Amino acid sequence: MDKNPKPTPEELRFVYQMILNGYGDTDILNEYAHLYDMGQLKFPYRVDDRFIKDRRKELQAASEVLEEHVKKKADPVISKRRDEHFERLAKVADTLLDNNLHTVVPNTESSAGEPQYLVEVDWVSSGYPLEKSQLTMILQKNIGKAYNLFEPMYFHKNFLPHLRAEIPIINIKGIWDFIEEQPYELIENLRILVERKTFKGTCPICEDWQ
Ligand SMILES: [Zn+2]
């Protein structure tokens, strides 16, 4: 058996809590022994204080980062700026869904050679059909529109880093190939972002707010 199995999250919480409550390494190991004797120890029985010392180091480092992070999260000025930033990014995502891409769905009835997607609009009861290549073309056109509304620089320097964090495959393929190969996947992700109005990752505007 592994003599030093990795701690589970539950065990980490137990040790961290004791450290934060001011217990020394020996006290904590005694608590392991005590729980063990009572048949209540839910983790491996630790006897080596190096295990506790390592947790202490981790906790110290994590608390420093966390404290800073929580402070920024709670800062009303930063929080307002972040909301406005996300709002603007969501507007870019929304612009990319112009020309009815909000309502496009896979055409489940399509057989070989038929359009693979349907756009649901109220003036065509069954929706109007689109080929995958047409989705690509509409997305490219919408990016042009986003360039006009938000500046190409904003699109590439601010919106794209966030989009890449949401859809990591764009890092490998690049945005243009991704749009060509998987336009519908992009559309699905954009819809989520428009709804959610929060974005993973950072860009030059928000990198200091995280
Ligand atoms: Zn950003």
Q: pLDDT tens for residues 47-85?
A: 999 999 999 999 999 999 998 888 887 888 888 999 999
The pLDDT of residue 127 is above 90: no
51 and 120 fall within a common domain? no
With respect to residue 151, please indicate whether it lies within any of the assigned structural domains: yes
56 and 111 fall within a common domain? no
Cα of 98 vs centre of ligand 1, distance in Å, is 22
Cα of 199 vs centre of ligand 1, distance in Å, is 8
35 and 131 fall within a common domain? no
27 and 120 fall within a common domain? no
Q: Which of 58, 74, 90 is the last residue of a domain?
A: 74
Residue type, 62: A
pTM, full prediction: 0.69
70 and 98 fall within a common domain? no
Cα of 51 vs centre of ligand 1, distance in Å, is 39
Between 3-7, 40-44, 87-91, 111-115, the lowest mean confidence (pLDDT) is in 111-115
Number of structural domains found in the chain? 2
Q: How confident is the model at residue 2 (pLDDT cuts 50, 70, 90)?
A: low
Q: Output the DSSP codes for 53-103.
A: HHHHHHHHHHHHHHHHHHHHHH-HHHHHHHHHHHHHHHHHHHHHTTTTGGG
109 and 173 fall within a common domain? yes
143 and 105 fall within a common domain? yes
Cα of 40 vs centre of ligand 1, distance in Å, is 48
Cα of 26 vs centre of ligand 1, distance in Å, is 46
Q: Which of 179, 102, 196, 194 is nearest to 143 (CA)?
A: 179
Query: Containing domain of residue 145, as a range?
Result: 76-209
Cα of 207 vs centre of ligand 1, distance in Å, is 7
Cα of 9 vs centre of ligand 1, distance in Å, is 31
Cα of 77 vs centre of ligand 1, distance in Å, is 16
With respect to residue 99, please indicate whether it lies within any of the assigned structural domains: yes
